[in-house]
Amino acid sequence: MANKRKTREERIKEIHDAAFEVFASKGFHRTTMEDVIARTELSKGGFYYYYSSTKEIMIDMMRVGNLYYMEYNPFMRKLDQVETLAEKIDIAMEAFLEKSLVVTDARKVYTMFLHEVLYDREYWDVFIELETEFHKYILSKLGLSKKCMDDETFKANIIFISRLMNGMLFAQNMSLEPEVLLNKREEIKEMIYPFFKKMIIADCNM
C-alpha cells in the first residue's frame, strides 16, 4: 500500500522540526539549507517550494511558535481558571519567571531570532508584530478594561515588562551558566513583583 501523501501543513511541520533541530545544535548562522533538507524527506526542489532561505524558515517558526505559546502554554490556560485580577497577575508573574529563567532548546532558538533583530529590519518588524499580538492576547486574558488597554502609559509599561522578560531570557539562554539566574528565582521575583503589580494595577487605576 502506498504511503499517504503529506499535506502542506504536515510538510511545513516537518521542515520546522528539522530546522529546529539544526538551529538548536549548530546555531542559526552555521545552518545551511542543505543541513535542513537532509533531515526531511523532501527533495531539494520540493523543499524550495516551501522556503527559499533559513531566514524565511526562522520567521515562520516564530509566528507559529507565538500562536502555539498562546494556545497551549499551561500558564495561559490557568488564567481562565481564576477570577480575580490579583490571582491572574500572580499567574502572569510565574509565567514571566518561567519564560525568563528556564532554559530550553526552543528558547535558545528564540534568542537566535532576537539576535537577528539587531541587524535586519524585517526581523524587527516581525518581532513587533508578534509582541503586539501577544500583548493583546495576554491583556484580554487578564480581563482588563478597554480604557486601560488604550491608555498610552499603560501600553508603554506592558512593552517595558515584555522587553525586560526578553532581556532576561536572552541573557539566560546565551549563558553556559544558567544556574546563576535560576538559583536566584525568588530574589528576582521579590525585586520585580511589586513593580510588575504596580504597573498593571495602580498605573491603570484599577
pLDDT at 166: 94
The model's pLDDT over 102-126, given as tens digits with 9 standing for 90+, comes to: 999 999 999 999 999 999 999 999 9
The C-alpha atoms of residue 24 and residue 185 are separated, in whole angstroms, by: 25
Name residues whose C-beta falls within 8 Å of residue 113's C-beta, 6 or more positions apart in sequence.
28, 58, 59, 62, 123, 127
With beta carbons less than 8 A apart as the criterion, state whether 52 and 116 touch: no
Q: Would you state the pLDDT for residue 1? A: 43
Residues of the chain with pLDDT under 50: 1, 206
Interatomic CA distance for residues 185 and 101, integer angstroms: 8
pTM: 0.89
